[in-house]
Structure 1
Amino acid sequence: MSESVEIGIGERLRFYRQGRRKTQAVVAGLAGVSEDYVSQIERGAKTPTVGLLHKFARILGVPVSALLGEPQFERNGTIHPVASELHRRMMSFGGPSGEAVDLVELRQRVDAAWAIWQTSQRRYTEGAEVFPELLTDVQVAARSFRAFGEVEQRREAARLSSDTYFLLRTFAKRIGRTDLSLLAADRAIAAAYETDDPLRVAGAHWNLGHILIAQSEAEAAEETAMHAIEELKPNVDSGGDWLAMSGALWLVASVASVRQGDAWAARDRLREHALPAAEATGEGNVMWTVFGPTNVHLHAMSVEMEAGESAEGLSIADRIDVTSSPSLERQTTFYLELARLHDQRRDDAAVLLHLMSAEASGPEDLRYNLLARDLVRGLLKRARPSMTLQVRALAKRIGLVAS
């Protein structure tokens, strides 16, 4: 069995650090961590948190994607053809329209696509089979119904467009195409404003906030979220979806805070705004945000992880019943976050246990998540003999090593 040629995050960090003529001590000081911690990351002994990865990218003047690198599954063509096809169709705006558009049937297809994304263990494979054609048909619908008297049909077509672009934003982000994800987020906002629906407009800004965070634009993401929260204020007292959407935006603002190095502001936003909203509305899925108490607690756990407070993060995790989340992706993320928390504490057995739980709930997510792959790579380098067979079997299943 041979090791994958895929280059780890630590090796990329060392390459760019040395290329910028910065010592480990300088990078560590600017990032607010110890020199030994940077050394361990570069040796593959530790996996950086997402927030720390963004700090390294800013310090070295490179995009986060440069530190993450291009995984083997993109180089061998598993993902790129789908992304390229989606990009081509977005640029052609769906091609020429001809047949009559059935908005009811199209709504069923959009909702079914979202169900695949949030509940299927094969969501990448199944999604790739339906997203391109759905995108074309939704874009054709968006150009239809321009005659006098078709106002409501035009608004429904815009709702379908915004909902589809919401979906493509998260799909494109997960497969490493942040450029396509940003384009989808921008299209979602334009479509949402055509619906005359403040809730969808807020949802579109929630989407934009996520991709801005992914592109190391945490300050811009915070501004986007706070602006949308202000726009929702006249309706928030009505409760229900309005309050839930506001709460989801507070989660974006919280993540933006911790990515800017202010963990206390992140905690305050969760405690004072997001959690009360979640407790009032309960578990829900407004605009596919999966907002509710479970998601708030997941964010609280993530904030502690990014702040380096692994003990507090694990304490929060003990109080989370992830099975109450309507999204399988959220469940998988929970196990991956647990693995990262235990990685901070050098508890390899727990890291492996939770990576295997993540694989059970979302096998394709584990294959395509670059930080998860780096956790497995780290285990390969340091696993005790009693764990070696299990670690290598996992690495083989996610394509990290070849037989």
Structure 2
Amino acid sequence: MQLGDATATWLSPRVAENDPAALSLLGMIHLRAAVAAARHQDRATATRLLNRAEELADDLGSDENYWHTTFGPTNVVLHRLSIELDLDNVSYVVEHGRLNVDHMPQERSVSHRIDFARALSLAGHGDDAFAELRTAERTSPQLVRNNPRVRETLRDLTKQSPVTAGSRSSEVFVMAQRCRAVQ
């Protein structure tokens, strides 16, 4: 939080001039701070920081990659969904999470698919959750296979669908083994 405040002060002259690199850097710092606040269950701070990031994204006007931030309106939406998941607002994520993220960098699109799969699983939409995880794994196997949230989701999916020969639940179990979610 202190880093965000210090950076905002340092960047304020450039942000006032709508410098796209400054908007992107400050916007991304607000998004990361919002995630930290959400992980501490501080909804008010997370919302305030998300709203500020959204203003900066609106000023920027499009998804850009200044300072390798991938900052813009889409990334704000993706962070909002991730934060809502961290704050246990699963229904919000299920309702708003079906987005086209193919234009985003691999890490960001896979991260969103993992979050969306987690929300779908928690809402009892196991087949849809598994489909999201399969798409994410095809995009970036290493990011999926080493993610604790994937393991947690796969454990839940295997509990929802006991393994039977030849059924879709067998595919879930095989993926769970690849990701070290089960023995």
Specify the TM-score bucket, using the shorter chain as the normaliser. Answer: 0.7 to 0.9
Partner residue of 1:251?
31
Measured after TM superposition, the shift of residue 270 of structure 1 is 1.4
C-alpha displacement at 1:349, in angstroms?
A: 1.7
Residue 342 of structure 1 aligns to a residue whose secondary structure is: helix
Structure 1 residue 378: deviation in Å?
2.7
Q: Which residue of 2 aligns with 1:297?
A: 77
Q: Aligned equivalents of 1:355 and 1:316: distance in 2?
A: 17
Q: Which residue of 2 aligns with 1:339?
A: 117
Q: Within 5 A, what are the aligned runs for 1:267-306? A: 267-271=47-51, 273-281=52-60, 282-306=62-86
SS of the aligned residue for 1:284 comes to: coil
SS at match of 1:254: helix
Deviation of residue 364 (structure 1)?
A: 0.8
Give the % identical residues: 26
Contact 1:301 1:314 in 2 (8 A): no
The residue number in structure 2 matching 1:369 is 147
SS in 1 for 2:88: coil
Query: How many Å separate the matches in 1 of 2:149 and 2:97?
Result: 19
Matching of residue 311 in structure 1 with residue 91 in structure 2: yes
TM alignment of 1:74-223, pairs within 5 A: 222-223=1-2
What's the CA shift for 1:400? 4.6
**In the TM superposition, what is the alpha-carbon distance from 1:248 to its structure 2 partner?**
0.9
Q: 1:315 to 1:381 in 2, by over 3 A?
A: closer
Is 1:394 matched up with 2:175? Answer: yes
Within 2, Cα distance between the matches of 1:258 and 1:397?
30
- TM-score norm. by structure 1 comes to 0.42
Whole-Å Cα distance in 2 between the matches of residues 371 and 261 of structure 1? Answer: 18
Matches of 2:44 and 2:100 in 1, distance apart?
A: 25
> 1:343 & 1:389 partners in 2: Cα distance?
17
Tell me how far 1:233 sits from its aligned partner.
0.8
Distance in structure 1 (CA, Å) of the matches to 2:22 and 2:118:
33
Aligned-pair Cα RMSD in Å: 1.9
How far apart are residue 279 of structure 1 and its match? 2.4
1:329 Cα shift? Answer: 0.6
Per-residue deviation at 1:401? 5.4
Match of 1:229 in 2: 8
Report the CA distance between 1:250 and its aligned residue: 1.1
Residues 1:360 and 1:246: Cα distance change in structure 2 (over 3 Å): same
Distance in 1 (CA, whole Å) between partners of 2:152 and 2:40 is 24
Structure 1 residue matching 2:102: 3-state secondary structure: helix
Measure, in 1, the Cα distance between the counterparts of 2:94 and 2:49.
Answer: 20
Q: Aligned residue pairs: how many?
A: 178
Question: Relative to 1, partners in 2 of residues 1:265 and 1:343: Cα closer, same or farther, differing over 3 Å?
Answer: same
Segments of structure 1 that go 5 or more residues without pairing to the other structure are 1-221
Q: Which amino acid aligns with 2:56?
A: A
Residue segments in structure 2 that go unaligned for 5+ positions in a row: none
